Structure 1
Amino acid sequence: MSKRNSSKYKIDRRMGENIWGRPKSPVNKREYGPGQHGQRRKGKVSDFGLQLRAKQKLKGYYGEITEKQFKKNYTEASRMKGDTSQNLIGLLEQRLDMVVYRAKFAPTIFSARQIVSHGHIRVNGVKCNIASRKVKPGDVVSLGKKAQEMALVIEAQGLAERDIPDYVAPDGTDKITFTRVPTLDEVPYPVKMEPNLVVEFYSR
């Protein structure tokens, strides 16, 4: 489980944006940073600062994955054919924990990672507890029997603030097929993500 799970709203406040689109985010009430000087921190941001912020926001959105894992995804994306920023988004969306989150099997990316690590998820009928596993187009991701009755899962499936995207095809309430790797435009981010700035950050 992510080290950030207990303080995930700090990411929202630090960015000044509700990056997961959650109704309970403190940013819905105040859009400035944490601490007594939060309202005063509004100086001019350098190009490096913008790139760093874009990287931190994207990394935070995916459950604050480690810098090592995130950079590994960038390196793989840069070696692939086509646009590196699009490739990066595609790789991040192929993570098993993210597919579980997109399928509405979990209310947050943090709980999606927990459900995977506790062995409640099957990929093509085989139990998998590796959150970073890459899901390929055509793979079927399903909930284990115990997970189908978990309050967390039932809560997630009833959430009104987000829908299942087109590249995740549901089959009943406990199974989905990952149909294709999405492009940036297809990913339902609640806020604007700028993977091009992330690419600039790493290619300095």
Structure 2
Amino acid sequence: MSKRIQAKYKIDRRMGENIWGRSKSPVNAREYGPGQHGQRRKGKISDFGLQLRAKQKLKGYYGNITEKQFRRYYNEADRRKGDTGENLIGILECRLDAIVYRAKFVPTVFAARQFVNHGHVLVNGRRCNIPSALLRPGDVVEVREKAREIPMVIEAGQSPERDVPEYVSVEGLKATFVRVPSLDEVPYPVVMEPNLVVEFYSR
């Protein structure tokens, strides 16, 4: 289990974007970066800087993914047929914690990881506590009976902040992963650029 070693909203401020689309994000009030020099005028970003930023934004969006793990996802995406950027997005969206988040069982990606870690989720009727487990189309994810009354779960389901995407079918607290999505189907609050991530790793 990887541990979050930095404040999550610091990622928002460093990127200058509300990458999770949340109303609590400090970027809504302070668009400049964190730290002593955050308000300095920004210079022109190099091509490498743009690629690095795109990689950090995409990796940061999915929570506590380590660099080693993210690189492994890229290698797998590159090995598969088709567009590497699209493949990478598809792999990331197959993660169990991503599907728990998309199904609105919890309010944030970080909460999804913790929720799965604590054993509150069943996959095809079996308990699974591995957030990085990759699902296949047709897999059914369900909140365990004893976790259904957790206030966070109730609040997340009623929140108007997000909609459930078409590639996840939800009935109550049971979700079916319908298909691996393409980039344009994933409801990112900001523009993600997997093509720049591919350029970063293929240097």
Superposition TM-score, scaled by structure 2 size: 0.97
Please tell me whether the aligned partners of residues 94 and 180 of structure 2 are also in contact (alpha carbons under 8 angstroms). yes
Cα distance between partner residues in 2 of 1:138 and 1:41? 49
What are the superposed Cα offsets for residues 62-103 of structure 1, whole Å, 9 maximum, x if unpaired?
A: 003100110000000000000000000000000000000000
User: In terms of mean alpha carbon deviation, does 32-41 or 61-70 score higher?
Assistant: 32-41
Distance in 1, Cα, partners of 2:26 & 2:184: 27
For the pair 1:64 / 2:60, whether they are aligned, the reply is no
**Structure 2: which amino acid aligns with 1:194?**
E
**Alpha-carbon separation, structure 1, partners of 2:189 and 2:150:** 26
- Cα RMSD over matched residues? 1.2
Write the distance in 1 (CA, Å) between the matches of 2:41 and 2:64.
23
Q: Deviations over 1:125-182 (max 9, x none)?
A: 00000000001000000000121110111111111111000000012x2101000000
Whether 1:193 and 2:196 are equivalent positions in the alignment is no
Matching residue of 1:22:
22
Distance 1:123 1:133 in 2: 10
| Structure 2 Cα separation of the partners of residues 74 and 106 of structure 1 | 27
Which whole-Å CA distance do the structure 2 matches of 1:113 and 1:36 have between them?
32
Unaligned runs of 5+ in 1: none
| 1:2-151 aligned within 5 A | 3-4=3-4, 7-151=7-151
* Aligned residues of 1:33 and 1:41 also touching (Cα < 8 A): no
**Separation in structure 1 between the aligned mates of residue 108 and residue 5 of structure 2, nearest angstrom:** 10
Query: For residues 3 and 74 of structure 2, what CA distance do their matches in structure 1 show?
Result: 22
SS at 1:40 equivalent: coil
Contact 2:2 2:66 in 1 (8 A): no
Q: TM-score, normalised by structure 1?
A: 0.97
Task: Assess if the C-alpha contact under 8 Å between 1:18 and 1:27 holds in 2.
Answer: yes
Amino acid at match of 2:97: D
User: Structure 1 residue 41: deviation in Å?
Assistant: 4.5
**How many pairs does the alignment contain?**
203
Contact 2:55 2:194 in 1 (8 A): yes
5+ residue gaps in structure 2? Answer: none
The secondary structure found in structure 1 opposite 2:163 is coil
Q: Percent identity?
A: 72
Displacement after TM superposition at 1:12 (Å): 0.5
The structural deviation recorded for 1:6 is 6.7
The residue type paired with residue 64 of structure 2 is E
Distance in 1, matches of 2:119 and 2:154, equals: 17
